[in-house]
Amino acid sequence: MVKSQEAIETSLFVKQVLSAVFYGVASFMITVVNKTVLTTYGFPSFQVLGLGQMIATIVVLFVAKKLRIVNFPSFELSTFGKIFPLPLIYIGNMFFGLGGTKQLSLPMFTALRRFSILMTMILELYILGIKPSFSVQFSVYTMIVGAIVAASNDIAFNLTGYIFVLMNNIFTASNGVYMKKKLDSKELGKYGLMYYNSLFMILPALFFAFYTGDMEEAYNYKYWNDVLFMGQFILSCVMGFVLSYSVVLCTFYNSALTTTIIGTLKNICVTYLGMVIGGDYMFSWVNFIGINISVLGSLIYTYVTFKRKESVSYSPLPNNEKVSKAEDVV
pLDDT in tens, 45-87: 878 888 898 899 899 999 999 998 888 888 888 888 888 887 8
CB 195 within 8 A of CB 57: yes
> What is the model's pLDDT at position 325?
32
Judge whether 12 lies within some domain.
no
CB 221 within 8 A of CB 215: no
Question: What is the DSSP code string of 79-92?
Answer: HHHHHTTHHHHHHH
CA-to-CA distance for 87 and 79, rounded, in angstroms?
Answer: 12
Q: Residues 168-200, buried b or exposed e (16+ Cβ, 10 A)?
A: bbbbbbbbbbbbbebbbeeebbbbbbbbbbbbb
Verdict on whether the full-model pTM lies above 0.75: no
Does residue 308 register a pLDDT over 80?
A: no
pLDDT tens sequence across 158-204: 788 888 888 888 887 787 777 777 776 677 777 888 888 888 888 88
Judge whether 96 lies within some domain.
yes
Judge whether 36 lies within some domain.
yes
Judge whether 16 lies within some domain.
no
Judge whether 325 lies within some domain.
no
Q: Structural domain of residue 224, as residue ranges?
A: 26-311
How many other CB atoms are there within 10 angstroms of residue 269's CB atom?
A: 15
Split into its structural domains, the chain has a count of 1
Judge whether 3 lies within some domain.
no
Judge whether 223 lies within some domain.
yes
Judge whether 323 lies within some domain.
no
